[in-house]
Structures are given as C-alpha cells and as structure tokens.
Amino acid sequence: MANLNFHNERLAGQLQKEIGLVIAHEVRDPRIPSLVTITHVKLAQDTRNATIYVSIFGDRSEKEEAITGLNKAAPFIQRVVAGRITVKHFPKIFFKLDNSIEHGQHINDLLKEIKHDLE
C-alpha cells in the first residue's frame, strides 16, 4: 500500500510540473491568462482521474472564464502531457479553481480588523 501511495504522489508531482509547462508555453486560449499557478493535483486512487487545482489572478468573471478555457483545453493538455509521462493509464484531467489563497487573505484581514478593535 505504501508503494502505491508513493507512486501516486510521484505521478501527481510530475503532472503538476508538466501541466504547468504546457499551460504556460503551449496553450493559446485567450481566456487563459499567462500566469496560472497549479496549487495541487489530486489523483483518484486508481489514477484514472486527476483534479488539477489552479490559482488565477483576476476578478471572479476572469477566473470563471479561465477555468472554462482550461477545461476546454484539457484534452489537448492531456494529449501533450501523456506524450511526456509514461504510465499504463493516463488520467483524465479536470480543472478546478483553488480559492484557498483568497480565503486565507480574508481570514488575515478579519484578524487585523479584530486586532484594531482590541487596541
């Protein structure tokens, strides 16, 4: 079981690196900004599906448009990355927006507000 977890973690790391490179250098969709950060790759236990969490700078509509563009480009990205990573079954990829950075910033702002109220 530990060997399977190691394999999944290694594959997730390779996917994160290669998908990031493909998005930055090969995807030509105008909806996708030049700066897209892959924050996490979550692989299904059988490695048939992978959820790619991304952080995108911009307002809400720009982020939603970028996610739509990324999911539209997913088959292309999957095909290019599958040529670079050798696995028995290459996972189908899905993109989701990672809001953890904005959520953390919101919590930080609330804590600063509480600190000012206590002073």
- pLDDT of amino acid 1: 52
Comparing 49 with 88, which gets the higher pLDDT? 49
Parallel, antiparallel, or unpaired: how do β-strands 49-56 and 36-43 relate?
A: antiparallel
Bridge-partner residues for 36, per DSSP? 56
- pLDDT of amino acid 2: 63
How does pLDDT run across 12-31, given as a tens digit for each residue?
999 999 999 999 999 999 99
Burial (CB < 10 A; 0-12, 13-18, 19+), residue 16, is: middle
Ranges of each domain in the chain:
2-118
CA distance 1 to 82: 25
Do residues 55 and 67 make contact, with C-beta atoms less than 8 angstroms apart? no
How does pLDDT run across 63-92, given as a tens digit for each residue?
999 999 999 999 999 999 999 998 888 999
E-only strand ranges, 1-119 = 36-43, 49-56, 92-97
- For residue 98, the number of C-alpha atoms closer than 13 Å in the C-beta half-sphere is 18
Note the pTM of the prediction, 2 decimals. Answer: 0.83
Which of these, 81, 64, 62, lies nearest to 23 by C-alpha position?
Answer: 81
Instruction: Give the architecture-level CATH label for domain 2-118.
Output: 2-Layer Sandwich (3.30)
